[in-house]
């Protein structure tokens, strides 16, 4: 696999294929042309953008690291993004003028489009060395060497965030700067170049009570403040006893994202296709136009009484559920075009990072509970309640009960045991998959807190997803825990069989109390090779 290099928060990547170069140039060209730049300038920008590139025409643009990945990275799909704070042209211009000296990249005393603007844009597209500087440094520059220019731009990361959404992108901040330096203003400056609103999307049938959407938005905003806001997450609420007319907004949106084919608009189709978390992929799987969506479709009756719970615990259960499913979306976005788990091409590591079922589910369970414990008092319908009134356990992997019941089962000790677990059970590769996994589900998922106790929850939740696109799931585990797949299984199997099953879990088994960001800062994730 010809992996691309993702080095910094600026989404830098080496460009290896003709298709990818063409894609980048076309993206810039369309954006500039859409802003009515003169064709002469457009041709010059396109030429200078790619000047000096060494192109490998044999590279497969659809393999991991190709054009599909480049597109997903360019739109910030796998980066947590806040809503922009500067959205109007006047605010953008004022901000650039206030920090104008910072944008003199080559240090020639002047800030121009075809030097400083191009240097920033090339850098954000991942150009380094001669390909970064060729034809884009003025004759009077004091900062000439590519290494010095790269270092300087890196130092200006926070300043280059022109729209103020907490991240820097070539096709947002880079284009805004270039357009401004070309003299664009008003709508031609900002059109299509302001960072997107990545808030999870709620789509409901017309007969869904308005309060359900309001509560969803508030809870998801809280989850996103911890986990980060990622695009293409859609929560669908429908009424299985409602009418097709009321469900039309749901039908329309699912058709737009190619969740189903033509002629499938019916309540029964929603019932048959109901899932959380399903998905769709407009643009086609593993193409340069891939646009993966995560879709959670749920019935009104479940939303109002999840798992038969009644208020206020029904709200607690639902908020935990929301956190769990959105965490799965977070896991997916970092697998990009490879896919997360064992998909239709399940034995091919080129088409999936081959994340283990026990990690996918166990990490989500651990996160949902850590987030809820730290934030429950700020969530809708729970204010003014006590923990005893609202505590709800829809699943747990890092508590003492799970720890003891699993260990009793595999050690053959007396007392309550975890369902499906028995003496002789060992975690193995069979537990990596959703189909064919052993019946000792809690024993398998308990490998997550074991992993955390050997490293940290930051490793479990952030470091592994950060690296599994390039390294695969088990490659990322080996990088961060120093154990191969078999070594990890052997260590875990030995652990559950050692010591008194009535002992309490070891240090680091459960996530720390309090603010999750203090020990696992999801906003700092940086995909890298």
- For residues 447-451, give the mean pLDDT: 98
* Residues ≥6 apart with Cβ < 8 Å to 206: 245, 246, 247, 248, 249
- 186 and 207 fall within a common domain: no
Q: How many CB atoms lie within 10 A of CB 98?
A: 10
Residue 334 placed within a domain: no
Q: Is the pLDDT of residue 467 over 80?
A: yes
- 96 and 142 fall within a common domain: yes
- 371 and 505 fall within a common domain: yes
Residue 343 placed within a domain: no
- For residues 171-195, give the mean pLDDT: 86
* Residue 84, phi then psi, degrees to nearest 5: -65, 145
Residue 507 placed within a domain: yes
Residue 132 placed within a domain: yes
Percent of the chain scored above 90 by pLDDT?
A: 63
Domain hosting 103: range is 18-190
Q: Is the pLDDT of residue 13 over 70?
A: no
CB-based burial, 460-478: b 16+ in 10 Å, e otherwise: bbbbbbbbbbbbbbbbbbb
Q: Is the pLDDT of residue 358 over 50?
A: yes
> Where does a domain end: 258, 284, 304?
304
Are residues 1 and 64 in contact, defined by beta-carbon separation less than 8 angstroms? Answer: yes
Please tell me the distance from the alpha carbon of residue 413 to that of residue 427, in angstroms, as a whole number. 19
What is the per-residue pLDDT for 202?
96
Q: What is the dihedral of CA 338, 343, 347, 351, to 10 degrees?
A: -20
- For residues 432-439, give the mean pLDDT: 86
Supply 518's token pair. 């203090």
- 504 and 363 fall within a common domain: yes
What is the per-residue pLDDT for 262?
65
Q: How many domains does the chain have?
A: 3
Residue 238: strand pairing partners: 299
Tens digits of per-residue pLDDT, 499-521? 999 999 999 999 999 999 999 99
DSSP output for 366-424:
HHHHHHHHHHGGGSTTTTT--HHHH---S--SSSHHHHHHHHHHHHT-SS---TT--TT
- 112 and 60 fall within a common domain: yes
Cis peptide before 265 (omega within 30 of 0): no
- 231 and 183 fall within a common domain: no
* Residue 197, phi then psi, degrees to nearest 5: -80, 115
What is the per-residue pLDDT for 296?
97
- 209 and 181 fall within a common domain: no
Q: How many CB atoms lie within 10 A of CB 313?
A: 19
- 183 and 219 fall within a common domain: no
- 391 and 483 fall within a common domain: yes
- pLDDT band at 298; cut points 50, 70, 90: very high
- pLDDT band at 11; cut points 50, 70, 90: very low
Residue 281 placed within a domain: yes
> Where does a domain end: 190, 216, 241?
190
- pLDDT band at 345; cut points 50, 70, 90: confident
Tens digits of per-residue pLDDT, 232-275? 999 999 999 999 999 999 999 999 999 987 667 789 999 999 99
Q: Where are the beta strands (DSSP E) in 74-167?
A: none
> Where does a domain end: 284, 304, 324?
304
Residue 313 placed within a domain: no
Residue 371 placed within a domain: yes
Q: How far apart are the first and last CA of the chain?
A: 12
* Residues ≥6 apart with Cβ < 8 Å to 113: 41, 178, 181, 182
* 341 burial type by CB count under 10 A (0-12 exposed, 13-18 middle, 19+ buried): buried
- 252 and 167 fall within a common domain: no
- 420 and 464 fall within a common domain: yes
Q: Write down the pTM of the prediction.
A: 0.76
Residue 98 placed within a domain: yes
What is the per-residue pLDDT for 66?
63
Q: Identify the H or E element spanning 50.
A: helix 39-50
Tens digits of per-residue pLDDT, 132-160? 999 999 999 999 999 999 999 989 988 99
- 157 and 207 fall within a common domain: no
Q: Which of 321, 261, 268 lies closest to 296 in space, CA to CA?
A: 321
């Amino acid at each position: 696999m010809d992996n691309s290099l993702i080095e910094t928060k600026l989404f830098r990547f080496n460009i290896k294929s003709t298709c990818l170069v063409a894609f980048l140039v076309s993206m810039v060209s369309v954006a500039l042309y859409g802003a009515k730049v003169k064709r002469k300038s457009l041709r010059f920008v396109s030429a200078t953008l790619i000047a000096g590139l060494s192109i490998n025409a044999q590279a497969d643009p659809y393999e991991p690291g190709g054009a599909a990945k480049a597109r997903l990275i360019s739109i910030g799909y796998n980066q947590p993004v806040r809503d922009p704070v500067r959205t109007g042209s006047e605010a953008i211009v004022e901000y650039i003028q206030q920090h104008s000296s910072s944008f003199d990249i080559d240090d020639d005393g002047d800030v121009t489009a075809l030097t400083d603007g191009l240097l920033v844009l090339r850098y954000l597209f991942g150009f380094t060395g001669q390909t970064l500087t060729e034809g884009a440094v003025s004759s009077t520059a004091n900062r000439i060497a590519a290494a010095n220019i790269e270092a300087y731009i890196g130092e200006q990361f926070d300043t280059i965030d022109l729209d103020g959404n907490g991240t820097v992108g070539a096709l947002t901040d880079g284009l805004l700067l270039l357009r401004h330096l070309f003299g664009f203003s008003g709508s031609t400056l900002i059109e299509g170049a302001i960072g997107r609103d990545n808030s999870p999307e709620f789509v409901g049938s017309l007969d869904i009570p308005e309060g359900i959407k309001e509560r969803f938005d508030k809870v998801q905003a809280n989850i996103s403040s911890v986990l980060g806001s990622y695009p293409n997450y859609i929560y669908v609420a429908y009424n299985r006893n409602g009418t097709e007319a009321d469900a039309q907004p749901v039908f329309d949106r699912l058709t737009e994202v190619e969740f189903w084919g033509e002629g499938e608009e019916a309540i029964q189709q929603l019932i048959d296709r109901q899932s959380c978390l399903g998905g769709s992929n407009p643009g086609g799987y593993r193409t340069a136009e891939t646009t993966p969506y995560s879709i959670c479709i749920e019935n009104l009756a479940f939303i109002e009484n999840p798992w038969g719970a009644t208020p206020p615990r029904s709200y607690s259960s639902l908020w935990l559920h929301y956190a769990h499913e959105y965490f799965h979306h977070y896991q997916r976005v970092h697998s990009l075009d490879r896919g997360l788990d064992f998909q239709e091409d399940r034995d091919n590591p080129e088409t999936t990072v081959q994340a283990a079922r026990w990690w996918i589910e166990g990490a989500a369970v651990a996160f949902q509970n850590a987030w809820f414990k730290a934030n429950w008092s700020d969530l809708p319908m729970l204010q003014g309640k006590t923990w005893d009134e609202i505590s709800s356990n829809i699943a747990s992997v890092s508590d003492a009960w799970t720890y003891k019941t699993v260990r009793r089962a595999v050690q053959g000790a007396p007392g309550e045991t975890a369902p499906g677990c028995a003496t002789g059970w060992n975690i193995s590769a069979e537990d990596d998959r959703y189909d064919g996994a052993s019946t000792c589900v809690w024993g398998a998922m308990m490998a997550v807190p074991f992993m955390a106790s050997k490293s940290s929850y930051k490793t479990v939740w952030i470091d592994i997803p950060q690296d599994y696109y390039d390294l695969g799931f088990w490659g990322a585990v080996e990088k961060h825990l120093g154990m191969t797949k078999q070594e990890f299984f052997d260590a875990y199997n030995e652990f559950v069989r050692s010591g008194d099953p009535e002992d309490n879990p070891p240090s680091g088994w459960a996530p720390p109390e309090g603010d999750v960001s203090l020990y696992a800062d999801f906003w700092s994730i940086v995909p890298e090779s």
